[in-house]
Amino acid sequence: MGSSLAYCITQDGKLTGDIVIPEGWTTHAASLTNNNSNMTSVVFPTTYTMLPSAACVNSENLESVTFKAPVTDVPMQAFYQCTGMTHLDIDWTQIKAIGSGGFYMALLIANFPNGIDVRLDNAVSIADNGLSGCTAIRTLHLGNKLTNCAAAFSANTHTLTVEEGFDCNLPVGGMRASDTDWAGIIANYKDNSSTGITRTLTLPAADYAALSEETLAAAKAKGLTVASA
């Protein structure tokens, strides 16, 4: 596994302070960093490839997380309830999956006052609560590779975009999406009319009410059901 990890360890087997995972390591035991009130920052090396489930769950004093190389999977509860986070250096565009509760309540507008713009160009799956409670996420872009998207978004997310050919059910009823161009999103949805496949776009009630009959007709013609949350 490469270099050894030389840090103070508490009686309960937790690393303390500012942690730098050594180069050569590809993963680590989650027990070193989860439920850890003594850890303030963690840096993952360029060799790191697999973040374990519940890697930093409930580590409320964790302020800074840096990935020196892209990770493709953020597993279940990886940063669940890391409510003290003020810095996250991660390449969102390379993430393929966010597990249940992956970032739940970890990215708060109180800690990121300028907001965060998230581009999930290559995401295939966003599980339930994957991004819930992340009030700092200001804009969210979803690529057309997405096939599973649970009710995963924050009520503070204002702007949502999808790539042309987007082909996934999209439950966004929890969003405060006043700036989102829903007609544009409908225009970018894949036309499934010839396949018999039906997709669902569930909107906040006020946004649904604002859609024109022409837009709703265009959605129906594509095999897209637009519903009110």
Question: Which ranges of 128-222 does DSSP label H, i.e. alpha helix?
Answer: 182-188, 205-209, 213-221
Q: Are 154 and 170 in contact (CB under 8 A)?
A: no
Which of 44-53, 85-94, 136-145, 172-181 is predicted with the least confidence, judged by mean pLDDT?
172-181
The pLDDT value given to residue 1: 45
pLDDT greater than 80 at residue 177: no
Tell how strand 170-171 and strand 199-203 pair up.
Answer: parallel
Which of 23-32, 61-70, 151-160 is predicted with the least confidence, judged by mean pLDDT?
151-160
11-30 tens-digit pLDDT: 566 778 899 998 999 999 99
How far is residue 78's CA from residue 69's CA, in Å, rounded to a whole number?
17
Going by pLDDT thresholds of 50, 70 and 90, the confidence category of residue 178 is low
The pLDDT value given to residue 117: 94
The pLDDT value given to residue 180: 81
Q: Whole-model pTM? A: 0.89
Q: Tell me the average pLDDT across 187-195.
A: 94
The pLDDT value given to residue 58: 97
Question: Which ranges of the chain does DSSP label H, i.e. alpha helix?
Answer: 182-188, 205-209, 213-221
